[in-house]
Structure 1
Amino acid sequence: MSREISVSAGKPFGLQRVCQVLEFPRSTIYAIRARASTKVTPMVPRRRGPKPKMHDTDLLKAIRDDLAASPFSGEGHRKVWARLRIVHDIRVSRTRVLRLMREHRLLSPHRQARGEPSLHDGRITTDRPNEMWGTDGVRIATVDDGMVWIFSAVDHCDGMCTGIHAAKIGDRFAALEPISQGLLDAFGSVLADSGRGLSLRMDHGSQYTSDDFRDQIRFWGITPSYAFVAEPQTNGVAERFNRTMKEQAIHGRIFKNLEEVRAAAIAFRNQYNRDWRLEKLGFKSPLEARQERLMKLAA
Structure 2
Amino acid sequence: MADATSPSTGRRYGVARVCHVWEVSRSSFYAAHQASAEEAGPRSSPARRGPKPAISDEDLLAAIRADLTRSPWTGEGHRKVWARLRTLDGVRVSRKRVLRLMRQHALLSPHRARTRPETSHERHIITEAPNIMWATDATQITTVADGKVWLFGVAEHWNAELLGWHVAKHGTRTEAIQALGMAVRQQFGHLGAGVARGLALRHDHGSNFMADVFQKQIRFWGMAPSYAFVREPETNGVIERLFRTLKEQAVHGRIFQTIEDVRDAVRAFVARYNAEWLIEKNGYRSPARMRAAWQEETFRRAA
- 1:51 Cα deviation from its structure 2 partner: 1.6
Opposite residue 64 of structure 2, the aligned amino acid is I
Percentage identity across aligned positions? Answer: 50
Structure 2 vs 1, CA of residues 15 and 290 (structure 1 numbering), >3 Å: closer, same or farther?
Answer: closer
Partner of 1:166: 167
Partner of 2:71: 70
Opposite residue 250 of structure 2, the aligned amino acid is A
Between 1:78-87 and 1:155-164, the stretch displaced more is: 155-164
- 1:298 Cα deviation from its structure 2 partner: 1.1
Query: Are positions 1:214 and 2:229 aligned together?
Result: no
RMSD: 2.0
Q: Within 5 Å, give how 1:236-255 maps onto structure 2.
A: 236-255=237-256
Deviations 1:142-186 (A, max 9, x none): 000000011110100011111111111111111111211111111
Structure 2 vs 1, CA of residues 16 and 133 (structure 1 numbering), >3 Å: closer, same or farther?
Answer: closer
- 1:76 Cα deviation from its structure 2 partner: 0.1
8 Å CA contact retained: 1:34, 1:40: no
Partner of 1:79: 80
Q: Counterparts of 1:224 and 1:17 in 2: how far apart (Å)?
A: 80
- 1:21 Cα deviation from its structure 2 partner: 6.4
Partner of 1:36: 36
Opposite residue 54 of structure 1, the aligned amino acid is I
Q: Within 5 Å, give how 1:1-299 maps onto structure 2.
A: 19-20=19-20, 24-37=24-37, 38-39=39-40, 42=43, 44=45, 46-299=47-300
Structure 2 vs 1, CA of residues 212 and 16 (structure 1 numbering), >3 Å: closer, same or farther?
Answer: closer
- 1:120 Cα deviation from its structure 2 partner: 2.5
Opposite residue 78 of structure 2, the aligned amino acid is H
8 Å CA contact retained: 1:154, 1:161: yes
What TM-score do the two structures reach when normalised by structure 1? 0.91
Q: Secondary structure at the match of 2:152?
A: strand
Q: Counterparts of 1:18 and 1:281 in 2: how far apart (Å)?
A: 64
Q: Secondary structure at the match of 1:259?
A: helix
Gaps of 5+ in 1: 3-13
Q: Secondary structure at the match of 2:201?
A: strand
Opposite residue 25 of structure 1, the aligned amino acid is S
Deviations 1:34-84 (A, max 9, x none): 431455753636532112111111111110110011110000000000000
Opposite residue 29 of structure 2, the aligned amino acid is I
Deviations 1:105-149 (A, max 9, x none): 000000012142233333111000011101111100000000001
Opposite residue 126 of structure 1, the aligned amino acid is T
Q: Secondary structure at the match of 1:108?
A: coil
Q: Secondary structure at the match of 2:136?
A: strand
Q: Counterparts of 1:117 and 1:127 in 2: how far apart (Å)?
A: 25
8 Å CA contact retained: 1:120, 1:231: no
Deviations 1:12-38 (A, max 9, x none): xx9867743675423531441343145
Opposite residue 28 of structure 1, the aligned amino acid is S
Structure 2 vs 1, CA of residues 202 and 17 (structure 1 numbering), >3 Å: closer, same or farther?
Answer: closer
Q: Counterparts of 1:21 and 1:250 in 2: how far apart (Å)?
A: 75
What TM-score do the two structures reach when normalised by structure 2? 0.89
Structure 2 vs 1, CA of residues 95 and 18 (structure 1 numbering), >3 Å: closer, same or farther?
Answer: closer
Q: Counterparts of 2:15 and 2:289 in 1: how far apart (Å)?
A: 72
Structure 2 vs 1, CA of residues 274 and 16 (structure 1 numbering), >3 Å: closer, same or farther?
Answer: closer
Q: Counterparts of 2:235 and 2:47 in 1: how far apart (Å)?
A: 47
Between 1:27-36 and 1:40-49, the stretch displaced more is: 40-49
Between 1:109-118 and 1:140-149, the stretch displaced more is: 109-118
8 Å CA contact retained: 1:120, 1:233: no
Opposite residue 152 of structure 1, the aligned amino acid is G
Opposite residue 108 of structure 1, the aligned amino acid is S
Between 1:101-110 and 1:47-56, the stretch displaced more is: 47-56
Q: Secondary structure at the match of 2:141?
A: strand
Structure 2 vs 1, CA of residues 44 and 190 (structure 1 numbering), >3 Å: closer, same or farther?
Answer: same
Opposite residue 298 of structure 2, the aligned amino acid is L
Q: Counterparts of 2:79 and 2:195 in 1: how far apart (Å)?
A: 39
- Greater RCO between the two (CA within 8 Å, min separation 6)? 1
